[in-house]
Amino acid sequence: MAAARLLKDEATEEKGDRARMASFIGAMAIADLVKTTLGPKGMDKILQSTGRGRNVTVTNDGATILKSLHIDNPAAKVLVDISKVQDDEVGDGTTSVVVLAGELLREAEKLVNQKIHPMTIIAGYRMAAECARNALLLKVKDNKQDPDKFKSDLMKIAMTTLSSKILSQDKEHFAKLAVDAVLRLKGSTNLESIQIIKKAGGSLKDSFLDEGFILDKKIGIGQPKRIENAKILVANTAMDTDKVKIYGARVRVDSMARVAEIEVAEKEKMKQKVQKIIAHGINCFVNRQLIYNFPEELFADAGILAIEHADFDGIERLALVTGGEIASTFDNPESVKLGHCKLIEEIMIGEDRLIHFSGVEMGQACTVVLRGASSHVLDEAERSLHDALCVLSQTVNDSRVLLGGGWPEMTMAKEVDELARKTPGKKSHAIEAFSRSLQAIPTIISDNAGLDSAELISQLRAEHHKDTTNAGIDVISGGVGDMDKLGISESFKVKQAVLLSATEAAEMILRVDEIITCAPRKREDRM
């Protein structure tokens, strides 16, 4: 008798080895896709959308590439998710985490083919990950107590992070920008108060850090161009009430004179509203919505600078950095919290006029103005800088630092190998496989640089069997170099997140033994 059908007609299920095979292949394909972007000589990808306008993104940020893909394979989606989480959590290492998870699964596939049970592999991976983490913990440096050393650590981390991105040519300039911006935060990881403005034109070298806040708007006609000791009211309210605002409302009148009366009444209402706002004792009014000519004229007469259409992101940030709150009703001025800053003036960047607020309440606020040849370059520069800022803000809190350039992976691999030799039973195969996966990262870095990876990795391994070593891959000279002298450093938090996320993701995919795909929903004919 045929087995009873459990699922709907078009639903599919894959069991056992086939399901595992599909998972492995999907995950490895994703890892192979992004692995060419790894390291200082990694290449970029062009992502073209199929939507209107066919937007083009040029990037080598693992999370951005994977976020933009529409993927059918469920295991590949797990890897996309871990790269997203890595991006949100620590900002950098998005490619490494996917590559490491892919390599762990590649090794696991070989072990499964040797008839080792997935649970045994998982147990081995768990032990290996713990051992690798402890190996790193023993080697970390922490210079939090010495501000000068700590700042140079931050500079090295920023330069290492930026060296694999578009900003690598001017990495010293941008590393200094990023470190200055993050040190102003005084240990907070809230990057809201660092604003990034992109202005096409000039070259990336012309980018600069400006203390204070820059709003991408122009100052209205006939209004003061410069205000000292500004009191700012940030609002989200309609300042265009010369039209009846009730949807679908009709006003019937019997003569034109009546229309004029309605207009006068509306004007009067607007005037009262403006007077309520002026009664707050302010000299700068920033509104999210439009301000029509009549109220603008009234503000100009009162000597108040009125800025309209500051988009939501703009006014939220402005309220945050000036210490004010966004108001929408103005009946009781005492309950409205105003923002303050020392000086508001108009500045020019390239061809554009912008409004500059300096001496703001929140001392840590600053603005990075990025210049560049085209919008694509600017977008990628912003992503790169954001990565650096994230890593630095995390490092200020957790100040443990490691060397970079494949050094941590080789150190971990050596310790994990030792563990494999001591562990009896089948788990030792899995632990050995873990060590090989860790070595894949320096291998890929050297492959991407067009170096002979087999030769380099064997030299590295020999170096790492000495007692203390700082050996890593020096991509520029194409050999093994001293990472301490080259100033290549990475944040411990990033490495730890890569190690643990990749292991957990690989573990999750290994546990799968069946994939069930639902039947697609049918469209009903509505004839």
Question: DSSP code of 164?
Answer: T
Residue 504: strand, helix, or coil: helix
The rounded distance, in Å, linking the Cα atoms of 375 and 201 is: 9
The rounded distance, in Å, linking the Cα atoms of 160 and 154 is: 10
The rounded distance, in Å, linking the Cα atoms of 455 and 462 is: 11
Contact partners, residue 81, CB within 8 Å, separation at least 6: 505
Nearest to 160 by CA among 321, 324, 332, 40: 40
Nearest to 476 by CA among 487, 466, 465, 490: 487
- Structure tokens belonging to residue 271: 């005037």
> How large is the C-alpha radius of gyration of the chain?
29
Q: Which residues are catalytic?
A: 61, 94-95, 387
Residue 222: strand, helix, or coil: coil
Nearest to 391 by CA among 213, 67, 218, 164: 164
**Which amino acid would we find at residue 503?**
T
- What are phi and psi for residue 64, nearest 5 degrees? -65, -40
Residue position matching structure tokens 């496989």 = 433
The rounded distance, in Å, linking the Cα atoms of 323 and 121 is: 54
State the SS3 of 303-362.
CCEEECCCCHHHHHHHHHHHCCCEECCCCCHHHCCCEEEEEEEEEEECCEEEEEEEEECC
